[in-house]
């Protein structure tokens, strides 16, 4: 008979202070008999990280910003845990022997830590989509080599994962990723030049971190998700369709050759896909709102508008161009979104910067993670030059 103690799943959370991270911690708190916390990480938010570490009795705590090490060490004075910092600290946290790990860092910054978990053959709940966009092929090779398991957390990919019949892979006609359309779905393109960061992050259905909220508004998020789906499910781009569905009730679908569509539905609450990954292959009881279809009353669908939102087209072009292009696109996008959030460039400039950087880059496919990191760095340099050119000079 397994003891109560050993039956608890030992979990680590990378990006514990973020939107996905905090939802994950909430779910863990609701089921203390099922989970115990091994390692937690953040980038600079010492106070929240230290508070989580104490509350959950984490054994290993890492902060990405090395300058915050002393502050974290002080905040955890007397707590029975190891403290680390910097990229090596994040990698060490991911390498700790946990049964399950949430990859919840935002951006390509999560690459080395996620890789560290994959290389120990971990069960990885996968939210950090930029990692797969940057290093998809190499990452999936590492997953196969190490025998790691990726559990998709992004709501669309989690939905597909729940209805994807691996034994009938050959009978899959296409994957249908649904998209809310973001806060500007019905706005004319001309009016988008003036939108503010506050308007862009105010998503109609989902409560998420700032970067992904802006990506949802430009629809780059859906572009990143097409690439993410391509790698996670080993499906060609032409079999991955995007369908705008403003209510965000159907989180995605798989269409089979016999005419059946299998869909996963739920309230638009990230705690649902996170709970699915956290308990997989079992299920958890959550406090999430229960979907009331009679109250929703109707479900609408429309094709995406790639003229008003060119980011989706850019992502498809990047995927078709070869493995060099998605990391360049995604790194340029990270820089452009950060500049938009700082008020340095306009909303329409975000996609413009991405397009300029990708077209200025000479195609050279990366054959190693180091090569991906180099491509990423070069794309960020080009993006910051493009941003400087767009930024009005201040006198
Ligand atoms: P947040 O910005 O809310 O949180 C990001 C987390 O990563 C924080 O813990 C942050 O630490 C940490 N972090 C930020 N920069 C670095 C860095 N350079 N090195 C190490 N850690 C860092 O992001 P979200 O939770 O919204 O998103 C996380 C990932 O999940 C993204 O890839 C996103 O696309 C994906 N995702 C998110 C969804 C959501 O609902 N939020 C839905 C689907 C996917 P600190 O707090 O100290 O800055
Ligand atoms: Mg999503």
pLDDT in tens, 61-85: 999 999 999 999 999 999 999 999 9
CA 243–ligand 1 middle distance (angstroms): 25
DSSP 121: T
| Whether the CB of 21 sits within 6 Å of ligand 1 | yes
| Whether the CB of 105 sits within 6 Å of ligand 1 | yes
Give me the pLDDT at residue 6, please: 55
Comparing 37-51, 147-161, 200-214, 257-271, the range with the smallest average pLDDT is 200-214
Q: How far is CA 166 from CA 56, 234, 260, 288, in A?
A: 37, 11, 15, 29
Ligand nearest to the CA of residue 208, numbered in listed order? 1
CA 326–ligand 1 middle distance (angstroms): 19
Sequence-ordered alpha helix ranges (H) in the chain = 4-7, 19-30, 46-56, 69-75, 86-95, 111-119, 129-146, 155-163, 189-192, 197-201, 210-218, 220-232, 271-279, 293-296, 311-321, 325-341, 347-360, 369-390
pLDDT in tens, 279-289: 999 999 999 99
pLDDT at 2 over 50: no
List the one residue out of 364, 334, 338 whose CA is nearest residue 107. Answer: 334
Our CA dihedral for 148, 152, 154, 155, rounded to 10 degrees, sits at: -170
Angle between helices 111-119 and 86-95 (to 10 degrees): 30
The mean of the pLDDT values for the chain is 96
Give me the pLDDT at residue 3, please: 46
pLDDT at 127 over 60: yes
Mutate to test the pocket of ligand 1, among 209, 248, 338, 373 (most ligand atoms within 8 A of CB): 209
Instruction: Give the model's confidence band at 7: pLDDT under 50 very low, under 70 low, under 90 confident, else very high.
Output: confident
**Which 3 state secondary structure label does DSSP give 252?**
strand
| Whether the CB of 223 sits within 6 Å of ligand 1 | no
Phi, psi values for residue 291, rounded to 5°: -65, 125
pLDDT in tens, 323-371: 999 999 999 999 999 999 999 999 999 999 999 999 999 999 999 999 9
Compute the distance between CA of residue 240 and CA of residue 225 in angstroms, rounded to an integer: 10
CA 378–ligand 1 middle distance (angstroms): 22
Which architecture, in CATH terms, is 9-153?
3-Layer(aba) Sandwich (3.40)
DSSP 161-173: HHH--GGGGGGEE
CA 298–ligand 1 middle distance (angstroms): 32
Which is the closest atom of ligand 1 to the Cα of 206? 40
Instruction: Give the model's confidence band at 391: pLDDT under 50 very low, under 70 low, under 90 confident, else very high.
Output: confident
Mutate to test the pocket of ligand 1, among 106, 109, 180, 221 (most ligand atoms within 8 A of CB): 106
pLDDT in tens, 214-255: 999 999 999 999 999 999 999 999 999 999 999 999 999 999
Q: Please tell me the residue having the least CA distance from ligand 1 atom 26.
A: 209
pLDDT in tens, 172-195: 999 999 999 999 999 999 999 999
Mutate to test the pocket of ligand 1, among 20, 111, 216 (most ligand atoms within 8 A of CB): 20
Measured at the CA of 166, the angle between CA 134 and CA 216, to 5 degrees, comes to 40
Name the maximum alpha-carbon separation found in the chain: 73
First-to-last alpha carbon distance for the chain, in angstroms, is 73
Strands ordered across the beta sheet of 250-256: 240-244, 172-179, 250-256, 261-265
- 330 Cβ partners below 8 Å, 6+ apart? 108, 130, 133, 134, 224, 376
Give me the pLDDT at residue 393, please: 65
What is the arithmetic mean of pLDDT over 29-45? Answer: 97
Give me the pLDDT at residue 353, please: 98
Give me the pLDDT at residue 201, please: 95
Q: CA neighbours within 13 Å on the CB side: how many for 66?
A: 4
Ligand nearest to the CA of residue 178, numbered in listed order? 2
| Whether the CB of 130 sits within 6 Å of ligand 1 | yes
Which is the closest atom of ligand 1 to the Cα of 46? 47
CA 57–ligand 2 middle distance (angstroms): 31
Strand partners, 125: 102, 151
pLDDT in tens, 367-384: 999 999 999 999 999 999
CA 343–ligand 1 middle distance (angstroms): 20
Domain ranges in the chain are 9-153
CA 251–ligand 2 middle distance (angstroms): 8
Q: How far is CA 260 from CA 177, 236, 383, in A?
A: 16, 20, 44
| Whether the CB of 19 sits within 6 Å of ligand 1 | yes
Q: Please tell me the residue having the least CA distance from ligand 1 atom 42.
A: 154
List the one residue out of 53, 46, 126 whose CA is nearest residue 85. Answer: 46
Strands ordered across the beta sheet of 123-126: 82-85, 60-63, 35-42, 9-14, 100-103, 123-126, 149-152
């Amino acid at each position: 008979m397994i003891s109560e103690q050993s039956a608890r799943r030992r979990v680590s959370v990378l990006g514990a202070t973020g939107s996905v991270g905090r939802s994950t911690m909430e779910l863990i708190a609701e089921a203390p008999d099922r989970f115990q916390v091994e390692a937690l990480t953040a980038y600079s938010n010492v106070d929240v990280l230290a508070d989580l570490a104490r509350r959950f009795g984490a054994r290993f705590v890492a902060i990405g910003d090395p300058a915050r090490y002393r502050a974290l060490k002080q905040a955890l004075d007397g707590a029975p845990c190891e403290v680390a910092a910097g990229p090596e600290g994040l990698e060490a946290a991911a390498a700790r022997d946990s049964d399950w790990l949430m990859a919840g860092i935002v951006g390509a910054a999560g690459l080395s830590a996620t890789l560290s978990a994959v290389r120990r053959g971990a069960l990885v709940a996968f939210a950090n989509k930029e990692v797969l966009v940057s290093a998809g092929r190499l990452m999936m090779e590492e997953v196969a080599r190490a025998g790691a398991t990726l559990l998709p957390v992004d709501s669309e990919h989690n939905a597909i994962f729940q209805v994807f019949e691996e034994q009938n892979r050959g009978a899959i006609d296409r994957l249908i990723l649904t998209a809310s359309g973001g806060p500007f779905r019905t706005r004319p393109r001309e009016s988008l030049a003036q939108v503010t960061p506050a308007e862009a992050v105010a998503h109609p259905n989902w409560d998420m971190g700032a970067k992904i909220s802006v990506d949802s508004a430009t629809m780059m998020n859906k572009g990143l998700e097409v690439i993410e789906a391509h790698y996670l499910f080993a499906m060609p781009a032409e079999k991955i369709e995007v369908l705008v569905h403003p209510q965000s009730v159907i989180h995605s679908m798989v269409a089979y050759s016999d005419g059946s569509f299998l869909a996963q539905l739920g309230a638009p609450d990230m705690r649902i896909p996170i709970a699915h990954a956290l308990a997989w292959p079992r299920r958890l009881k959550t406090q999430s709102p229960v979907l009331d279809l009679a109250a929703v009353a109707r479900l609408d669908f429309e094709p995406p508008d790639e003229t008003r939102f060119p980011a989706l087209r850019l992502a498809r072009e990047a995927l078709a161009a070869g493995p060099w292009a998605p990391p360049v696109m995604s790194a340029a996008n990270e820089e452009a979104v950060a500049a938009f959030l700082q008020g340095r460039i306009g909303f329409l400039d975000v996609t413009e910067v991405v397009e300029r950087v990708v077209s200025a880059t000479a195609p050279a496919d990366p054959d190693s993670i180091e090569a991906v990191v180099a491509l990423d760095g070069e794309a960020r340099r080009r993006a910051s030059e493009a941003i400087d050119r767009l930024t009005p000079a201040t006198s």
